[in-house]
Structure formats: structure tokens, C-alpha cells
Structure 1
Amino acid sequence: MTDRVAALTTLTRDLISIDSRSFVSNLPIAERISVELGDFEVETLDYADADGTAKRALVAHRGGPGGIAFSGHMDTVPDTGWQEDPWSGRSDAGMLHGLGATDMKGPVAAAIMAARALPLDVPVSLFITTDEETTKAGARELVQRSALARAAKPAMILVVEPTNMIPVRGHRSHILFTCVATGVQAHSATGLGRNANWALLPFLTEMQALFDRLRTVPALQDQDYDPVFSDLNLVLDNHGAAINVTVPQATARLKFRYSAKIDPAPVLDAVYGAAKRAGVAVSETREGSPPELPADHPLVRLCTDITGKRPGTVPFGTDASVLQALAPCVVMGPGDMSVAHAPGEAVSIAELDAAIPVFTRLAEAIAERR
């Protein structure tokens, strides 16, 4: 094992071992990452999330303006379904196991190693966010508040999400609709209550029809994506109501994902129109505009030339939907997204290590263009 592989393995394992699920404070993992940034100017962006939990985004920079910025996030999804310790960082057959190993603590570790390996005269930044899995709040704080990011003026942001090192030139972004039907709580046997689910059902019937339209109407689809149709995912919540209680509140959450070529207006009209007819209250939050660069964009071509891999698009979202306000974004990193968000998540140490020289070549190529 080389010194670089040993250091990479240690850093990745250390990051995996820290619980940084989106609903807990990420200060411990931010402090561990800061230890690796001794040669960089570092800016900490502290904030509290909507629940009052302390959060921190990090911006680090070295060299002059106009270089590359590597970006990744510290938070993970919940540990749903895990049968072993999600934070063990267990190694087996060249793989490191644990929650967030692929998405995206391993890629973040590789990006940090690459940035540190660059010559001091090569400008490089690190944009390390949190809350990416939920609200993109860390990226928003960075864009809105970071003086160091503005001074660095990166020519390119490489979001190192796991793509098997395939350059991703565009991805979908989402609109999250929270749809609430209200009833009257009572013992269900008395006939005195009103169950909110009955008010929600007509709305959901129209949403099922919208779901079917997205999958069958070509005008609502984008042939540059796989799948070609936009996602409309539904989650229902009765907020713990018992079976012998008329439900006082029923909530439907709908996540609609769309690409840059898709106009979301018909979906917005359908959701709000159905809600009005059913007497359902709707609020929405947006991830940011879908980022997308042309296939022949110079930065996309550069990534293609260095990796030898054809660029593509992906259906999932990243911080690029927010960070694109600072510089053009390409998404490309080691690891396989198909194992993310699932029990038994693991990442190949060899793949992380192989990404480091690719990242450094890209950074040097960007620096030469100044």
C-alpha cells in the first residue's frame, strides 16, 4: 500500500465513522475535514437549519483566482435498513463499508487529496457543503455568503458525486410540493369527526393521472435523459393517527424532478388546480434550476479528453443546481451511485485513488487556461 493510498483510506474511514446524517449537526465532520486543510485559506460558514441544528459549510482556497473548485457534501441520508454498524468504516476486499462511503465521503476524501497534491501555484478551491440530501442549504449559504468563493472566482466547479468518473453535463432538479388536507379529530365510532384522508383522495386521483401523463406524453419528456420521463414521487403521512381516530391531518409530499428542457408550468398548474378543487393546501420548495451544459462545452470536452469517457446526464440532483450561480458545473467523481442510499453502501479504495490523478490533471489544465 502506497503512502497516498494509506492516507486516503484513513481519511475516508475517518469521515465514514462520523455520524453526519442530515438531521444531526455536521460540526464534528467539518472539524475533521478542516484538519486536512492546513495549507489553505479556510472560511467557515456556520448556520442553523430549520430545526435549529448547528451546521457548517467550508470553503478552502489556495493560489490565485480562476482555478478549479472541487465540491462535495458532508451529510448523508438516514441509516434506514442497515443491519451492521453504519459508521464502522469496515474494510473488506479493497472496499470501505459504511453510510455515505460512496455518497459521498469517499469522493470528498479523494478531492481533498487531489487539491493538497497540486503545486502551490495551481489555484484550487474546495466547496464542502452540508444538507445536500435535504434542502441544499449548505450550498445556498456558500453562494450567498462566501467572500472567499467570490474572491477565488473559479473557472469551473467539479461536483465529485459518484458517477464512475463519467462526466455529467446536466441533471434534473426538483420541486417539492407539500399538500395538506385537514379534517376533524374524533373517535371514529362516534361519527363526530371528519377524516382528512377522504379530502386528500380526490387530489391524489388527479396526481396519479399526472404521474401517468409524465410517462406517456412525449412533450413532457426529455430524450437526453434516462429515464426520459420526469419523476413524480409520492409519500403519505397521517402523522401518527391511530386506526380508531378520524385523521385530523393528512399530508402528501410530491417530488417532481425535471430537466432544463422541460417547462414545469404544466405540472405546477396541475398540482395547484387539483389542490384547489379538493380543498388541499399546497406549499412548495425548489432545489434550483436544472444545471446543464452543452455536450460541446469546452469544460465538458476537457473532462471527456482527460477521462476518455463520453459525457452524459443523470436523473438525480446535486449541489450543482445551486453552485452554478458561481461557475459552470460538471458532475464527475469515483464510485457508483447505484449503491448509494442503500444498506451495505461501500466504495472501492482503488477507484478513489485512481480519481486523484484525474482530478489533478483537470486542475492543472484549468490553470493553464487562465
Structure 2
Amino acid sequence: MSEDNDALLRLAADLVAIDSRSFVSNLAVAERIEAELPGFEIERLDYADANGVAKRVLVAHRGPRGGYALSGHMDTVPDTGWTNPPWTPRLDGGVLHGLGSTDMKGPVAACIVAARGLPADVPVTLLLTTDEETTKEGARAIAQRSRLARSLDLKGIVVAEPTGLAPVRGHRSHIEYTAVATGVQAHSSTGQGVNANWALIPFLAEMKTIAERLRSDPALQDPGYDPPFSDFNLIVDNHGTAVNVTVARATARIKFRRSRNVDTSAIEAAVHAAAERAGVALTEKREGTPPELPEDHPLIRHAVAETGQPARTAPYGTDASELQAVAPCVVLGPGTMTTAHTPRECVAVSDLTDAVPLFRRMLSAAQT
């Protein structure tokens, strides 16, 4: 066990030390991971993201067909707000610090150490994605293009996001709206320009009404989630325009997280109608259907039995929204979301080391 723990901490630290923010290439991380998987059949799914950046997804397998898979993502959020070096892993008082330590390079390291330590006759699969923090394109590549994953007849997938090692049986997924208003750039004193914000503001006013409705209308809420109302988060961008220049382009982005059991068609229609009235161009990107398994699903019962903790739901999203097309998913991993996406990101070493035997028990059950 000490050998496992040492290998786990070395690998977690090595992965944290490699910059793999979603807007940069993850090839170095993928290559470092592949070096840890001798004896595994490995399928590489390469693609270029929307900005032309090279990305790689790994599907690794050893043993018979018909088992469970462990899944994690290689990318991280940006290093916003960090004062300590984000890619210098630091171990302090039994806690690993660094960007991606909990979300989710530490959990990915635990998956790898757990998988390679099992007997050769136990089916072991790893689904290692990227762009989870942005587009879910890596998970979508597995769901749509992986011949290896499709050939394995997987019974289930453990998405090892940080849950405190408690099973999450369902979560929300999002629609991302982008609304663009167009103006004419000019020196603001000349009266020759057209400020795009004036077209965007009426649209934003209607979006505020929708956001308030989501929080107040019980028909649009899911009591099985905490919070029960959907996230409707707005970001506005004038693309660096100075205050003495009329705005040529004003962009609003909204992340709308919805639950599987709530009919949001009226909200979706209202967003499109508001954009049409305001004369702004609207596009959308959708994740897969919000994944949610019933409490009596075999994968959920298995996770509950192995963890001794009840299954719950979560308000965030994961690759399960896309990977559910391959096999049923449960979200279950070390660490918590408390410091994820913050400049204080860290994970307790004990959480990582506890995950390894739990993952092995989950995988070994495929033989029974």
C-alpha cells in the first residue's frame, strides 16, 4: 500500500506540474499518462479544438470485456487569482496544493494507480478526456468515435470528479447561449458611432426576468437538487473597448444549467424570443441530456454498497452528460468542490489514497 501511495503522489504531482488549461494543448499530460500504462491497449483520439489547438483523448483497456470504466479529465480551468505558482505542486500537512490537484489531476492519478494494480483477469478501462471544463469535446469524442470503448460492452462508468467519495447519481447539464449585438465603432464624441450595448440591454433585461423566474417558480425547480433552482449565469463582454469609443460588438454569454426532470422548453423559447425582439444574434451549445440514474439502478446500488454512503444529486455538470451514451454513469471521486476553480485549489492526500482501494473494489465487482 505504501508503494501505491508513493506512486500516486508522484504521478499526481507530475500531472499538476504540466500546464493543461483548456485553451492550451494537453498532449504533454496525455503522453505522461500513457507512460504509466504498460500492458494496456491504448486508443488515441486526436482532434483540434475550435481555436486549432491540438488535443488528445485516451481510451485504455486491459483484460476481458464487460467491466466498469474509470473516467477523468486532463484539462483545468485558467489560473485566475493565483498568487502561488499554480504549476508547482506543494505538499503541506497532508494536503497537495496546485492547479488541478482536486479537479482533477489528483483523482486521475488515483484512477491510474487503481487500474494498473488489479490482476490481469479483471477488466479495467480508463476513459481520459480533455475540454471537460469548456465544451466536453473530449468526452464527446469517446462517445462518438471510440471503437475501443464501444467494443467493450461496459457495464458502467465511474466519473471520478471530486465528490468526497460519495456517489452522485445525477447532475445538471447546460445550454450555453451567446448573444451578440453589433454597432459601429467611432470616437464617442463625434456622434458617428452606434453603441452595441443599447441593443443588448433590452435583451439582458428580459434575461434578468427569466433568472428571477427560475428562482421563484416552483414548476421550474427540482426539489431533488440543492439548490432546487437552475443556474442562469450571465457574463457580458465589450471586447476591450475603451470608454471613449462606441462599442462595435457586445456579447452576452449565459450558462443555463437544467435538471432532467424539469421541462425547460418555455424558458428556452423565451430566450430565443427575447433575442429576436432585441435584434441580437443568438447561438447555443448544448451538452447531452442531464444524466440521472434511479436509486435502485445496479451501478448506484453498487456504489452505495462500496462507499457506505447514500447517493445524491449535484448542481454542477461533468463528462457524464456525454459518456452516458457509452454506459450508465455514477460520479464518485476523491476531494471536494470546495477549493476547485479557486486560487486555493488543493486535495487531502488521504482522500486520494482512500480512492485507490475503493476504485479497485468497484472494478473488481465486474467479475461477480
TM over 0.5: yes
Question: AA paired with 2:174?
Answer: H
For residues 165-184 of structure 1, what are the structure 2 equivalents within 5 Å? Answer: 165-184=165-184
Question: AA paired with 2:80?
Answer: T
Asked if 1:339 corresponds to 2:339, the answer is yes
Aligned position for 2:275: 275
- For 2:15 and 2:185, how far apart are their aligned partners in 1? 46
Aligned position for 1:324: 324
- For 1:306 and 1:140, how far apart are their aligned partners in 2? 29
Question: Residues 112-143 of structure 1: CA distance to partner in whole angstroms, max 9, x if unpaired?
Answer: 11111111111110000000000001111111
Aligned position for 1:100: 100
Aligned position for 2:286: 286
For residues 212-223 of structure 1, what are the structure 2 equivalents within 5 Å? Answer: 212-223=212-223
Aligned position for 1:52: 52
Question: AA paired with 1:166?
Answer: A
Question: Residues 146-200 of structure 1: CA distance to partner in whole angstroms, max 9, x if unpaired?
Answer: 1111111210000000000110000000000000111111111111111110111
Point out the more displaced range, 10-19 or 293-302: 293-302
- For 1:300 and 1:145, how far apart are their aligned partners in 2? 27
| TM-score normalised per structure 1 | 0.98
- For 1:152 and 1:334, how far apart are their aligned partners in 2? 26
Aligned position for 2:90: 90
For residues 105-124 of structure 1, what are the structure 2 equivalents within 5 Å? Answer: 105-124=105-124
- For 1:334 and 1:290, how far apart are their aligned partners in 2? 22
Please list every run of 5 or more consecutive structure 2 residues that lacks an aligned counterpart in the other structure. Answer: none
SS of alignment partner, residue 142 of structure 1: helix
Aligned position for 2:64: 64
Q: What is the CA RMSD across the aligned residues, in angstroms? A: 0.8
Question: AA paired with 1:203?
Answer: F
Quote how far apart the aligned CAs of 1:367 are. 2.5
Question: Residues 76-131 of structure 1: CA distance to partner in whole angstroms, max 9, x if unpaired?
Answer: 00000000100111110011110000000000000111111111111110000000
Question: Residues 250-271 of structure 1: CA distance to partner in whole angstroms, max 9, x if unpaired?
Answer: 0000000001001221111111
Question: AA paired with 2:106?
Answer: G
SS of alignment partner, residue 96 of structure 1: strand
Aligned position for 1:78: 78
Question: After TM superposition, where is structure 1 displaced by more than 4 Å over at least 4 residues in a row?
Answer: none
For residues 112-151 of structure 1, what are the structure 2 equivalents within 5 Å? Answer: 112-151=112-151
Question: AA paired with 1:161?
Answer: E
Asked if 1:211 corresponds to 2:201, the answer is no
- For 1:162 and 1:64, how far apart are their aligned partners in 2? 28
Aligned position for 2:298: 298
- For 1:273 and 1:104, how far apart are their aligned partners in 2? 38
Question: AA paired with 1:185?
Answer: Q
Aligned position for 2:19: 19
